[in-house]
Structure 1
Amino acid sequence: MKKIVMGFVAHVDAGKTTLSEIMLYESGKIRKQGRVDDRSSFLDYDELERQRGITIYSKVSSFDTKDTHYTLIDTPGHIDFSGEMERALSVLDVAVLIISANDGVQSHTKTIWKLLRDYHIPTVIFVNKMDLSHYTQEELCDHLKQLSGNIVSLDDEEALAMCDDRLLDEYMNDGHMQEATIAQAIGHRHVFPVIFGSALKNEGTKELMDLLDRYTLMREDDVLSGIVYKIAHDDKGERLSFVRLSGGHLHVKDELLGEKINQMRQYNGEKYQLSEDMGPGDVCALTGLKETQAGMCFGNYQVPHYELEPFMHYALHLSENSQKTQMLKNLRELSEEEPLLHIKIEDGDHITVSLMGEVQIEILKELIKDRFGEEVTIDSRQVAYKETITKAVEGVGHFEPLRHYAEVHLLLEPGEKGSGLQFENACESSLSPHYQRLIMTHLQEVEHVGVLTGSPITDMKITLLGGRSHEKHTEGGDFREATYRAVRQGLMMSESKLLEPYEHYEITMPSSLISKVFYDFEDYGVPAITNDDGTQAVLSGSAPVSFLYDYQLKLLNMTKGSGQISFSDPFYDQVLNEKEVIDAIGYHPEDDLLHPAGSIFCKHGAGYHVLYDEVYEHMHLPLYTRQKELAPLHHRAYNISDEEVKRVYENTYGKQERKLAKDFYGASSKGYVEANVSQSKPVCLLVDGYNVIFAWDKLKKIAQSNLGAARDSLIDIMASYQGYKGYTLILVFDAYKVEGQLGSLEKYHNIYIVYTKVAQTADAYIEKATKHLSSEYRVMVATSDNLEQKIVVGHGALRLSSRELLKDVEATNRQEQEDFNRRNPKMHNTMMEDFPKE
C-alpha cells in the first residue's frame, strides 16, 4: 500500500480542521464529525485550543482510502504559531492549501506559499466555503494567479497541458494525458490542481480525496533516512520525539542518533497505539530519546533551515513565590517543544523569550499556568536585532594553555541581504580531515553574536582557510575554543552594522485619510497607492517591524475601526538610528566573558592572554589572505626569420620579385658593420577593468542590467585591440570571479586576465604590478582614477585615461577596417549585381 504524509495548511479560519474532520469521517476513521464552534473536533483536543477555537499544535492522525494510507498532519493557521506549521512542512509528501472563498489569498497565505516553494512540496489547493462566497469560480481562479499561473483544474485539459512540456507532448500527440505523467508534473510542482467546495457541507471533499489517491507519489529512500520534526511531552511528562521515516526500518530497542528507542507510538488524535517497527512513510512518536531536537535529520533526508522566526524579545518574570529551580527546568522543557521561543536564562530574575505576537503571549502565560501551576508576567518588548559585517577579514583564534593546542583561520565575508549564514571548507590538506570536520561542526552548532549589541550575526559567509594542531597536545575541545575565538576576533577586526526586521505592509483605509498615513510613514518612504476608487484606498510599502506593530492600533483609532493592515515577506535591513540604538543597549564586547575575542598562547610553560588586536603578531601561521602574491608574468620573445616572413607573405599575396640595393649599386666594397641601435622595451598595458567599463557609455549601459555581460564585452574588445597593437595586455578586475577567491591570473586567447583577491582593489594590484614589470617592460596604465595615475607615473609608467583608451580602440578598429578593405577589394562575382554608373 502506498504511504503518503499529507498536511493541511491555511490562513486562520479557512476551515482546515473542518476539512480534516470530514476526511476522517468519510474514511471511517471517526464515527461522528466534530465541529470547531461546539468544541467537539477530533484533532483540536487540547483545552486551550477548544477555548480559543484555533489550532495551536500540529496534530497527527491517519486513515486509508482505496490503495493509499495517509498520515494526516493538521497544522496551526494563526500567524503567531507559524513555527509549529513550518516544522510540520519538513515531513510532508503533499500539502493541501486551504483558501477561504470569502477572503481569497491573504498575506499569510502568501507566506505559506513561499514556504511550500522553498521546501519544494507538491501542493493541491482546496477553495473552501464556496457555499458562503459571492465570488464565482472564474473570479477566484483569477485571484489565485497571484500565487502561480499553474493553478488549474484537472478538468481543464488545455490549461493543464500548458503547465508541463511532457503533458503538452502527450496532449498534442494522443489527445489525452497519462495519470503517471500528471502525477509527476504535480510532484515536480509544475502543476497545482485546484478544487472548489465546502468542507462543512461535504462538497468537493470526495473529489479531493480521489485526486490525492490518484496523483500523489510516495518517497522511499534506499537507506535508513528520516527527520525528527517535533518534540512534545505527554500528560505524564514522557518525552516524545516525533519522527518521519523515508527509508529503511526501525524497531523497538534499535538505536537512533546514538540513543535506544523504548516505544513507538502511532498517534491518532489524542490516542495512540504501540508499534514494534516503522518503515518508509510512517510517522511515530518515539520515547527514550533524550537529546533529540526538532530539525535533526539522518540518512538521505535533508530539509532547508527553518525560515520563520520571531522579531520581538520579551522579558519573562517569575512570581515571587515560584520555585525558581524547577521553573527554569520547566522553561527549558518548553524551549525543546518550541525552539522559536529562544528562551535565554541568565538567572531566575533575568529570562528573555522570543514571541511572534500578542496571541502567543497570552497562550504562553496560560500554558505555563495550566501545565506547571505558575503565573508569569511578560513585558519589556525589544526588537530582535541582528548584525553583519561590511568588509572581509581573516579571523584568527589560538588556544594554547599548557598541554593544549589549536589554531584556526577563518575568512569572514559580507553576504547578500537575506542570505543568512553560509559555511564553506577551503582548508588545505595540512590539517587533518577529522579536525576540519570538527571546526565546521563548531561553526554551525552555536549562535554567534556580533560586537555592536551582542545580537546574532547574519548575512555572512564563513570559510575555513586552515589551522594547526599538535601531535600530542590537541584535544577536540581545543578546536571549539579556537573556532569561537576566530569568529569573534574577525568580527572585532572588521566593521559591523546593525540590522532590524522590516516587513512589507498593505493598508486598506478610507481615501480621505491617505495624507495622514503619508505623514506617519515619511521616515520610511512614501507608501505606494496600489488602488484608490475615491472611497477606499490600498497602500503598500515596507517599514521596520518596531514601527508597524505599534501602528496597527493607531490605524484602528484613526479610521474608527475600518482600516486594516497586513504584513508579509519579512526581511532584515540596516537600522536608521544605529548609534542611538547601540548606545541605548550599552553592549561592551570586550566585557562579554562568554564570547572572548582574544587568544591564549603559551610561554615558559604557562598560558597567557593576547588581546584580539594583537593576535596577528603572535599567531603561528601566516595570514592565508596575504600568502598569494602577484603571479609572475613570463614574456617569451619570438624571433621570426626573413625567410619565414617572405613565405607567409607570398602565400597570402603571391610571389613577389624584389630588387635589393646591390642590384642597382653593386655590392659594398667595405665589410659589414653592425649598426649601433638601442633596443626599446616591449610595451605592457595594464587596464583597470571596472574603471573602464563605467567610463565607456556603451559598456556602462550594459553593466546596468548585466555586469557580467559588460565584463565579457570588454574582454573581447581588449583581445581584438591587443591583436593589432601587439602589446602584452593585462586586464585587471576587482575580486569578482569567485566569492572568497584569493586571487587568480589566467590567459584568455592573447591577453591576461587578473581577478584580484578578496579585499584587494585593482588599484593596489596595478600599483604592485607596475613596480614588478617596469624593469622588463615599458608599462602603460589605462584608468581614470587620478590618484592611481599619479602613483603609477611615480613608478615610471605611462598613464592613459579610460577615454583616451576608447579613442585609441576606435581608431584601431577603423585602421583595421581600412587595412582589410585595402587588402580585400570588393569583387563583383555575380552577373546580376549592379555596377556603379559611369
Structure 2
Amino acid sequence: MTTVNIGILAHVDAGKTSLTERLLYSAGVIDRIGSVDRGDTQTDSHELERQRGITIRSAVVSFTIGGVKVNLVDTPGHPDFISEVERALGILDGVVLVVSAVEGVQAQTRLLMRTLIKLRLPVLVFVNKIDRRGARDAELLAQIRAELTPAAVLMSRVARLGTPQARAIARSVTQEDFATELAEALGEHDDAFLARYLGDGPALAAADYTAALARQTRAAEVHPVFFGSAVADTGIAELVEGITGLLPERSCASAGGGLRGTVFKIERGWAGEKIAYVRLHAGTLEPRAKVSIHRPDRHGASTELTGRATAVEVIDQGAALVERTAGAGDIAKVRGLKGIRIGDQLGSAERLGGQQLFAPPTLETVIRATSPGAAPELYEALLQLADQDPLINLRVDQREAERQVSLSLYGEVQKEVIKATLAQEHHLDVVFEDTRIICVERPIGVGEAVEEIDGRSRTLFWATVGLRVEPGEMGSGIVFRRAVELGSLPAAFHRGIEEAVHATLQQGLWGWEVLDILVTLTHSGFASPISAAGDFRKLTPLVLMDALKQAGTQVLEPVHRFELEAPAEHASAVLLKLAECGATPEATTPRGSTYLIEGLLPARVVQEFEQRLPGLSQGEGVLLTRFHGFRPVAGPAPSRRRTDTNPLDRKEYLLRTFGRI
C-alpha cells in the first residue's frame, strides 16, 4: 500500500469541509454526509467550529481507495487562522485548492496559491458548487489562469452549469481538442514530449500523456483543474483519480532508515496532558520508544532533548485511531512527550525549521480576567492556547503582581474565538483592550558602550562587556558577532551574552522589537573563579541599551500591499478615502467597467477601510491585502509599555534585578 498526505485549502466558504465529507463518504468511511450548517461534520469537531460553521483548527482524517491510503488535512479558510495553514503545509505531499464556481478566485485563494507555487507543492484545483445559480466555467478558468497559474490544465467540462442537474464530464486524451491542449501544456516543460507530439520519434500513446501529466503535476509544473460539486456528488470520482494518480505517493514499505517526524499540531487530553500530531517522513515510531527531539531556535541553531512516547496511535479510516507502530507517510497521535512543541522534529535534525511562509500577526491586545484574582488561571489557560498556536506570542508584564498579559492576533474573529474558548474550556470570562498595531524599531546610527570589572569600587557584576550596535541589512533581524577572541571567555559566558542580547532587543527604546541590527561584542573579561554566567546575562542588557540610546532608533509600522477593484463610477470616492487613510496608490488600471487600484496601505487602517468599502462602491468593491513590510511612522513615534526589568533606567533595573522591587 502507498500513502499520500494532502491538504484541503481554500478561501472561507468555498466548500472545503463539504468536500472532505464527500470524499469520506465516497470511500465508504462514513455512511452519512455531515453538514456544516447542522454542525455534524467529521473534521469540525470543536464546539466553536460547529457553532460558527467555520474551521478553526486543522483536522486530520484518512481513507483508502484502490490501494492508496490518503491522509487528508482540512485547514481553516479564514485569514485570522492562517497560522494553522502554515503548519499544515510543512507536512503535505500535495494540495487540493478549492475555488467556488460562484465567487471565483478570492483574496485568500491568491495568497494560498502564491505560497504553494513558492514551495513547489503539487496542486490540484477543484472548482466547487457548479450546481449553484451564478456558477461560471470558461470565464472562471480564464480567471484561474490569469490570477493563480497560467499552467492550469482543464480536466473536465460542465453540462447544465448553474442548475441542480449540473454534471462534470471528464475529458479524455482520445478527444483531439484535449490531446492538443494537454500536449501544449506539457510541452512547455518537456522538450522530448513536445518533439514526439510533433512527429519526431515514436507516436504518443494515451499512457504517455497520463505519465507526463503525473510527472509534471508532482513537479508542480502544471496544475490540473477539476470542476464539480461536493454537495451534488459530481466530479468527485475524477478528483479522487487525480489525488491517487497525480500526487506524490510514499510506499509504506519504505519505512527503513532513521526516524524523522514533524510535530505540526498540539492538543490537550482530558487530564491536560499534551498530545502531539506527528507526520513521519522516514523510519518508524513505536509505543514506549525513547526518541530524540530537535527544536529550532531563533538564532538558526537547534536544541536536542529526549522523551519517551508512551502511546502511538495512527489515524486510519476517518478519524479513527489504531494503536500500532507508525511508519513513513503516517500521521500519528503521540502521547508522553511532555515538553513537546509545534515545530519540533523527532529523531533527526535534518530539514529542521524552515522559513516563515505567511506574515506574522500585526495586531496585539491586552487580555484580562473579569474575576478578581483569576489572573494565574488565565495565564495557565493562555499557555495551553499558545501550545496550539505559538504565534499568539504571549507577553507578560514581569513588573506587576497581576502579570498583565498581551497577545498577538491576526484579526478580530480570532479574538472572539479566544474569548469563547476560554469561557467554554476553562470557565474564564475575559475582556480585551482595544486592538493595536505591532510596530518595530530599527537603529539609525552607531552606538558603543562598555562596562568593566573595577576592583577598586563596589562591583555588582563580575564581568566585562563592551558592545557596539549599528544598522544591519534590511530583513536580517538580529545579527550578533564577536570582535574578541572566542577563547577570551568560557563558552557559557559567550552564550550568556548572546542570549541576553536577543532577549533584550525584544523591547527597544520605544518598547518595540528591534530588527535589522548588527551587535558586535567589542570587550570581554572575567575574574576567575568569582565570575559566573549570570553576571554576563545581567550586565549585558545595561550595556546594550546604553549603546542603543547612543545610536537611536526609528519606529516603523506594518504596511500591506493592496489590490482594489472598484466600479469606474465609484473610483474617485474610493481613491479619496484611500488618501484619507494614508494609503499610497501606485497604479490605477482600467479594466472595462472597473478600475484596478494598487499600492500600499497602513495595516492600522485596513480593517476600517474594509468596513467602509461596501458603502463607497455600492457593494461591488473587492479588496485584497497582504503584508508587505514596514515603513517609518509619520508623526510622533508610538510607544509600548515595557514588560521587562527596564534596562533603560539603571536604578530601576538594578533594584528589580536584585529583588528590591
Amino acid at match of 1:359: V
Q: Name the structure 2 match of 1:531.
A: 590
Give ranges in structure 2 of 5+ residues lacking alignment.
156-177, 294-305, 652-656
Q: Name the structure 2 match of 1:191.
A: 222
**Are 2:93 and 1:93 equivalent residues in the alignment?**
yes
Q: Name the structure 2 match of 1:357.
A: 411
Aligned ranges 1:677-826 → 2 under 5 Å? none
**Are 2:429 and 1:375 equivalent residues in the alignment?**
yes
**Are 2:288 and 1:253 equivalent residues in the alignment?**
yes
Q: Tell me the secondary structure at the aligned position of residue 428 of structure 2.
A: coil
Would you say the 8 A contact 2:364–2:438 is kept in 1? yes
Amino acid at match of 1:143: I
- Distance, in Å, in 2 between the alignment partners of 1:123 and 1:311 is 29
**Are 2:592 and 1:542 equivalent residues in the alignment?**
no
- Distance, in Å, in 1 between the alignment partners of 2:520 and 2:106 is 40
Amino acid at match of 1:524: A
1:262 pairs, out of 290, 304, 310, with 310
Listed one character per residue, the Cα deviations across residues 616-638 of structure 1 (whole Å, up to 9, x for unaligned) are xxxxxxxxxxxxxxxxxxxxxxx
Amino acid at match of 1:255: K
Which deviates the most, 517-526 or 161-170? 161-170
Would you say the 8 A contact 2:480–2:498 is kept in 1? no
Amino acid at match of 1:352: S
* 1:74–1:48 Cα change, 3 Å: same
Amino acid at match of 2:89: L
Would you say the 8 A contact 1:409–1:467 is kept in 2? no
Q: Name the structure 1 match of 2:74.
A: 74
1:551 pairs, out of 609, 631, 635, with 609
Aligned ranges 1:173-252 → 2 under 5 Å? 173-176=201-204, 177=208, 182-218=213-249, 222-252=257-287
Q: Name the structure 2 match of 1:162.
A: 188
Amino acid at match of 1:499: L
Amino acid at match of 2:260: S
Amino acid at match of 2:285: L
**Are 2:387 and 1:302 equivalent residues in the alignment?**
no
* Alpha-carbon distance, 1:570 to partner: 0.7
Would you say the 8 A contact 2:450–2:523 is kept in 1? no
Amino acid at match of 2:239: L
Which deviates the most, 547-556 or 100-109? 547-556
Q: Name the structure 2 match of 1:762.
A: none
Listed one character per residue, the Cα deviations across residues 712-767 of structure 1 (whole Å, up to 9, x for unaligned) are xxxxxxxxxxxxxxxxxxxxxxxxxxxxxxxxxxxxxxxxxxxxxxxxxxxxxxxx
Q: Name the structure 2 match of 1:105.
A: 105
Aligned ranges 1:478-557 → 2 under 5 Å? 488=545, 491-522=548-579, 523-526=582-585, 528-531=587-590, 533=592, 536-557=594-615
Would you say the 8 A contact 1:151–1:191 is kept in 2? yes
1:414 pairs, out of 455, 469, 472, with 472
* 1:592–1:75 Cα change, 3 Å: closer
Q: Name the structure 2 match of 1:144.
A: 145
* 1:498–1:179 Cα change, 3 Å: same
Q: Tell me the secondary structure at the aligned position of residue 581 of structure 1.
A: coil
Amino acid at match of 1:382: R
- Distance, in Å, in 2 between the alignment partners of 1:342 and 1:36 is 31
RMSD in angstroms over aligned alpha carbons? 3.8
Amino acid at match of 1:581: A
* Alpha-carbon distance, 1:489 to partner: 5.4
- Distance, in Å, in 2 between the alignment partners of 1:9 and 1:278 is 26
- Distance, in Å, in 2 between the alignment partners of 1:339 and 1:431 is 37
Would you say the 8 A contact 1:264–1:275 is kept in 2? yes
* 1:425–1:199 Cα change, 3 Å: farther
* Alpha-carbon distance, 1:165 to partner: 5.1
Q: Name the structure 1 match of 2:35.
A: 35
Would you say the 8 A contact 1:438–1:479 is kept in 2? no
2:341 pairs, out of 271, 293, 296, with 293
1:566 pairs, out of 623, 643, 658, with 623
- Distance, in Å, in 1 between the alignment partners of 2:649 and 2:211 is 58
**Are 2:581 and 1:581 equivalent residues in the alignment?**
no
* 1:424–1:174 Cα change, 3 Å: farther
Would you say the 8 A contact 1:105–1:144 is kept in 2? no
- Distance, in Å, in 2 between the alignment partners of 1:165 and 1:302 is 36
- Distance, in Å, in 2 between the alignment partners of 1:426 and 1:184 is 51
2:645 pairs, out of 589, 593, 598, with 593
- Distance, in Å, in 2 between the alignment partners of 1:234 and 1:406 is 48
- Distance, in Å, in 2 between the alignment partners of 1:226 and 1:180 is 30
Aligned ranges 1:452-471 → 2 under 5 Å? 452-460=509-517
Amino acid at match of 2:335: T
* 1:544–1:39 Cα change, 3 Å: same
- Distance, in Å, in 2 between the alignment partners of 1:116 and 1:87 is 13
Amino acid at match of 2:266: I
Q: Name the structure 2 match of 1:4.
A: 4
Q: Name the structure 1 match of 2:175.
A: none
Give ranges in structure 1 of 5+ residues lacking alignment.
600-607, 610-838
Amino acid at match of 2:410: M
- Distance, in Å, in 1 between the alignment partners of 2:488 and 2:191 is 49
Amino acid at match of 2:378: M
Q: Tell me the secondary structure at the aligned position of residue 562 of structure 1.
A: coil
Q: Tell me the secondary structure at the aligned position of residue 614 of structure 2.
A: helix
**Are 2:58 and 1:58 equivalent residues in the alignment?**
yes
- Distance, in Å, in 2 between the alignment partners of 1:8 and 1:314 is 31
* 1:479–1:574 Cα change, 3 Å: same
Would you say the 8 A contact 1:225–1:301 is kept in 2? no
Q: Name the structure 2 match of 1:340.
A: 391
Q: Tell me the secondary structure at the aligned position of residue 199 of structure 1.
A: coil
- Distance, in Å, in 2 between the alignment partners of 1:163 and 1:97 is 22
Listed one character per residue, the Cα deviations across residues 63-106 of structure 1 (whole Å, up to 9, x for unaligned) are 11223222111000011111111111121111111111222221
- Distance, in Å, in 2 between the alignment partners of 1:595 and 1:42 is 52
Structure with max Cα Rg: 1
* 1:277–1:507 Cα change, 3 Å: same
* 1:392–1:264 Cα change, 3 Å: farther
* 1:369–1:158 Cα change, 3 Å: same
Which structure shows the higher helix fraction? 1
Which deviates the most, 262-271 or 465-474? 465-474
Q: How many residues align?
A: 593
Amino acid at match of 2:63: F
- Distance, in Å, in 2 between the alignment partners of 1:190 and 1:38 is 39
Identity percentage of aligned residues? 26
Which deviates the most, 399-408 or 120-129? 399-408
Q: Tell me the secondary structure at the aligned position of residue 32 of structure 1.
A: coil
Aligned ranges 1:304-343 → 2 under 5 Å? 304-306=354-356, 307-321=358-372, 323-343=374-394
1:280 pairs, out of 325, 328, 342, with 328
Listed one character per residue, the Cα deviations across residues 501-534 of structure 1 (whole Å, up to 9, x for unaligned) are 1112333444444333333333433464333655
- Distance, in Å, in 2 between the alignment partners of 1:477 and 1:587 is 26
Would you say the 8 A contact 1:43–1:59 is kept in 2? yes
Larger RCO (CA within 8 A; separation ≥ 6) = 2
Amino acid at match of 1:355: L
* 1:153–1:562 Cα change, 3 Å: closer
Amino acid at match of 2:366: A
Q: Name the structure 2 match of 1:442.
A: 499
* Alpha-carbon distance, 1:370 to partner: 0.8
* 1:223–1:39 Cα change, 3 Å: same
- Distance, in Å, in 2 between the alignment partners of 1:196 and 1:362 is 35
TM-score by length of structure 2 reads 0.79
Q: Name the structure 1 match of 2:302.
A: none
* Alpha-carbon distance, 1:178 to partner: 7.1
Q: Name the structure 2 match of 1:761.
A: none
Would you say the 8 A contact 1:278–1:284 is kept in 2? yes
* Alpha-carbon distance, 1:469 to partner: 7.3
